[in-house]
């Protein structure tokens, strides 16, 4: 495929899909992998991650042909638009990509490019693993109790972007419809109001929950917890919970139990090899991940809960500089760190590239390069546990050596060479 403004590397080959059902990929030895550095600190953490991923690929007998793509500020310069069609097409075509953060100014007239990208490619599962690396300072006593993976629905909920601004004719029309036609009088206060819609569909919920259960089965994780606020939002978040139990009961046979079945049939003793599907109310869950951290494995939740929860969980294992993520759907993977563009630190070669590097690790895993993925994790962990860290971790540990973003990446590359 040729593009007007994107250079396709000559030395790489395109990843293709082998099986639509399973999402199985055919990955050449030198795949073309698109990368978007993104805004703000993206130009610091992007190249740092690239170096580390190159080193891990090389150490395991492969290589990556990077293809630079543009979105956000860099795209405005090159294409005079925020999210060029070429960028979306190139990710769709090449299937596996990695991106840094993109800035979303607060307020009217600017929709999140991250949300737009996920929606355009229908990357419906945002997967955020939270595990502790040795040596990473944490505000909790036992950070290694955290080993959780959050499957966050990525395409609906209040993030769907169906909302109307106060003072517009549209919002007035919606308000009148809700009050007059649907009978909710005396519910919305008088005066200016903004209104949003929260769609939660059976289709969107079930396909996300299936991904979470499949992951738990494939990775020997004992529980999947559906996190919702269904006690208040009965027909949206409550429906998510109900559809979750429906999937578990109707599609997985004996290998997947509900919490009730576990008690009724097994007296609470979980048989080996089974997955228990349970549910928790979101506010309680935010407490539980602090107080009963080791009881949770795989989480399946909606868009907003997932965003809050994975950031809070991320804080327990060292904060935003560490927390990785990736978006999946239709045999495609777009890896991206949980953190944003932290504009205050942009271009200073200062922030922690670990979240971007570990997002790259998710991507390597998806390619089936688990040896390279493990190498990345081990090298990052050992580099940090030796006290060679960026400013955010350095200020929380005794001693140690404070490194710039690029120096930290070099240290991880050296460690990869040592371990390989
Ligand atoms: P942020 O994650 O950019 O930064 C918050 C704070 O976290 C920073 O000030 C910094 O102290 C710390 N931090 C973040 N990344 C770090 C790193 N790699 N190393 C060390 N410290 C780090 O969140 P924000 O300030 O709320 O958002 C800034 C912009 O990023 C907004 O426009 C927002 O919309 C966008 N954003 C984008 C994404 C994405 O691209 N997926 C995600 C979140 C926020």
Catalytic residue among 157, 279, 307, 392: 307
Residue 135 has a CB neighbour count (10 Å cut-off) of 19
Q: Ligand 1, atom 41: nearest CA belongs to which residue?
A: 101
Q: pLDDT tens, 29-42?
A: 999 999 999 999 99
Question: How big is the chain, counted in residues?
Answer: 420
Sign of CA dihedral 374, 375, 376, 379: positive
How far is the C-alpha of 119 from the C-alpha of 80, rounded, in Å?
21
Average pLDDT over residues 338-358: 97
| Phi-psi domain of 47 (left: phi exceeds 0; alpha: psi -120 through 50; beta: other) | alpha
- Around ligand 1, the residues with Cβ closer than 6 Å are 41, 45, 101-104, 114, 320-321, 336, 339-342, 344, 351-352, 355, 392
* pLDDT at residue 46 is higher than 90: yes
pLDDT, residue 133, reads 94
102 CA: nearest ligand 1 atom: 40
pLDDT, residue 298, reads 98
* pLDDT at residue 271 is higher than 60: yes
Q: Ligand 1, atom 21: nearest CA belongs to which residue?
A: 321
How far is the C-alpha of 383 from the C-alpha of 66, rounded, in Å?
25
Q: Which helix (H) or strand (E) holds 381?
A: helix 370-385
How far is the C-alpha of 205 from the C-alpha of 152, rounded, in Å?
10
Strand 326-329 versus strand 125-131 pairing type: antiparallel
Sign of CA dihedral 369, 373, 375, 376: positive
Any catalytic annotation for residue 37? Answer: no
Q: How confident is the model at residue 161 (pLDDT cuts 50, 70, 90)?
A: confident
pLDDT, residue 110, reads 63
Distance 308 CA to ligand 1 centre (A): 14
pLDDT, residue 108, reads 52
pLDDT, residue 23, reads 81
Catalytic residue among 159, 215, 366, 391: 159
Distance 51 CA to ligand 1 centre (A): 22
pLDDT, residue 139, reads 92
Average pLDDT over residues 269-287: 96
Average pLDDT over residues 258-262: 92
Cβ distance 376 to 361 under 8 Å?
yes
* pLDDT at residue 355 is higher than 70: yes
Distance 285 CA to ligand 1 centre (A): 24
* pLDDT at residue 157 is higher than 80: yes
Q: How confident is the model at residue 106 (pLDDT cuts 50, 70, 90)?
A: low
What residues contact residue 374 under an 8 Å CB cut-off, 6+ apart?
none
Cβ distance 126 to 152 under 8 Å?
yes
Lookup: tokens for 7? 């250079």
* pLDDT at residue 111 is higher than 80: no
* pLDDT > 70 fraction of the chain, expressed in percent and rounded: 98
Average pLDDT of the chain is 94
* Reported pTM: 0.93
Residue 304 has a CB neighbour count (10 Å cut-off) of 17
Q: pLDDT tens, 87-104?
A: 999 999 999 999 999 998
* pLDDT at residue 119 is higher than 90: no
Q: Which helix (H) or strand (E) holds 394?
A: helix 391-394
pLDDT, residue 3, reads 86
pLDDT, residue 109, reads 58
pLDDT, residue 252, reads 95
For the chain, the 3-state helix, strand and coil shares in percent, each to the nearest 5, are 45, 15, 40
pLDDT, residue 107, reads 60
* pLDDT at residue 22 is higher than 90: no
pLDDT, residue 353, reads 98
What residues contact residue 205 under an 8 Å CB cut-off, 6+ apart?
153, 239, 240, 243, 244, 302
How far is the C-alpha of 308 from the C-alpha of 325, rounded, in Å?
14
Average pLDDT over residues 202-222: 96
* pLDDT at residue 196 is higher than 90: yes
């Amino acid at each position: 495929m040729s593009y007007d403004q994107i250079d396709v590397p000559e030395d790489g080959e395109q990843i293709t899909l082998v099986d639509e059902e399973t999402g199985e990929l055919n990955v050449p030895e030198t795949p073309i992998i698109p990368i978007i550095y993104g805004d703000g600190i993206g130009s610091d953490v992007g190249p740092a991650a690239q170096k580390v991923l190159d080193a891990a690929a090389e150490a395991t007998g492969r290589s990556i042909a990077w293809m630079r793509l543009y979105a956000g500020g860099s795209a405005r310069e090159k294409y005079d638009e925020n999210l060029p069609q070429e960028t979306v097409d190139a990710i769709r075509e090449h299937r596996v990509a990695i991106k840094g953060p993109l800035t979303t100014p607060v307020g009217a007239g600017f929709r999140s490019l991250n949300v737009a990208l996920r929606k355009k490619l229908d990357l419906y599962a945002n997967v955020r693993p939270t595990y502790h690396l040795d040596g990473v300072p944490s505000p909790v006593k036992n950070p290694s109790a955290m080993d959780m993976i959050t499957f966050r629905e990525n395409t609906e909920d209040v993030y769907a972007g169906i909302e109307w601004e106060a003072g517009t004719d549209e919002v007035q029309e919606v308000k009148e419809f809700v009050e007059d036609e649907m009978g909710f009088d005396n519910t919305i206060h008088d005066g200016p109001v903004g209104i949003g819609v929260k769609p939660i569909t059976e289709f969107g919920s079930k396909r996300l929950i299936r991904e979470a259960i499949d992951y738990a089965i494939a990775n020997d994780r004992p529980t999947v917890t559906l996190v919702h606020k269904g006690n208040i939002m009965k027909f949206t978040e409550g429906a998510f919970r109900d559809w979750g139990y429906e999937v578990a009961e109707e599609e997985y046979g004996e290998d997947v139990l509900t919490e009730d079945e576990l008690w009724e049939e097994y007296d609470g003793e979980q048989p080996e090899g089974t997955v228990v599907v349970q549910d928790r109310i979101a506010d309680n869950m935010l407490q539980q991940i602090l107080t009963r951290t080791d009881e949770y494995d795989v989480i399946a939740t909606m868009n907003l809960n997932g965003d809050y929860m994975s950031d809070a969980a991320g804080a327990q294992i060292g904060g935003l500089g560490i927390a990785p993520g990736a978006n999946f759907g239709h045999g495609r993977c777009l890896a991206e760190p949980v953190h944003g563009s932290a504009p205050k630190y942009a271009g200073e070669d200062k922030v922690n590239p670990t979240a971007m590097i570990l997002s790259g690790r998710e991507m390597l895993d998806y390619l089936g390069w688990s040896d390279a993925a493990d190498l990345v994790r081990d090298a990052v962990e050992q580099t940090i546990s030796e006290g060679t860290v960026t400013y955010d971790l350095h200020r929380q540990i005794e001693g140690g050596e404070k490194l710039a973003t690029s120096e930290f990446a070099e240290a991880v590359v050296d460690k990869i060479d040592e371990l390989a």
